[in-house]
Amino acid sequence: MPCSLSSICNWTFEVTGPDAQNVIEVRGLVNRFGAQVVHENLDLDVRRGEVLAVIGGSGAGKSVLLRSIIGLQEPAQGQVQVLGEDLRAASAARRAEIERRWGVMFQDGALFSSLNVLENIKVPMIEHQPLPLDLMDEIARLKIALVGLPADSAHKYPSQLSGGMRKRAGIARALSLDPEILFLDEPTSGLDPLGAAGFDELIVTLKKSLDLTVFLVTHDLDSIFTCCDRVAVLVDRHVVAVDTPARIAEHDHPWIKQCFRGPRGRSAQGALALRLQGA
């Protein structure tokens, strides 16, 4: 039987009911850079156990939103709660406790160039949870295996890795403290189609096996239809729609129509339909 858009919608996992607890709540967020307003009265909820993608045009402020949530960008107005805590109001000690419960992978992995992969992965442990050196080494090697890197990558430096390997090493570092939330900023950017598809599969596997909530900034429609439970569309300085990928594709907002019903959107949905038929 052909796989229709409605059947894709039924396939997409959506957290509802008592398990749909919000682990991130953004209310009335305003971000400005000089006279430029990036976000205006932006609201967004992220539910426990879901992969939520944030998509929008270039310059829409997707990465700025991520940085606002994790506290690297001070908003002009608004409130951000992560795991039930208002980070702006929290004490330094309480904030450090919350930060241990998330991991972040920035674009291209953002590894320290002077440290090898094993040392990069140990950085969060050294900062937040000092352990015996041999135990930290063992944990770091487990994270390397978890993200699909070969064991011999442990002693390689970022300059010796491919782009895809650097991103996987970045995820391994983000997972070093066994977080509840994983923030990913354009994880498939710059990867070839095979590398991007492998990364999408990794996100799905990690989410299921580690019971993660994943906040994903992306422009990759293949990723959205492959591994995301919901999509938040950031246009005109605020979130204009949040829904499953299939239902977002049917939204009548002009930018959404252009993005999801254009050639790239149709190709991504078609590829998903073929995968589901073969499943």
Higher pLDDT, 258 or 68: 68
CATH code of residue 72? 3.40.50.300
Return the structure tokens found at 274: 């073929």
3-state SS class at 49: coil
Confidence label for 116 from pLDDT (cuts 50, 70 and 90): very high
Mean per-residue pLDDT, 119-134: 91
The answer to whether residue 238 sits within a structural domain is yes
Q: Give me the helices (H) in 106-212, please.
A: 117-128, 133-146, 163-174, 193-210
* Sheet containing 22-33, strands listed edge to edge, beginning at the edge strand earlier in sequence: 36-47, 22-33, 77-82, 85-86
Count of structural domains within the chain: 1
pLDDT band at residue 278 using 50, 70 and 90 as cut-offs: low
User: pTM above the 0.95 mark?
Assistant: no
In a domain, 76, yes or no: yes
Owning domain of residue 250: 5-101+179-278
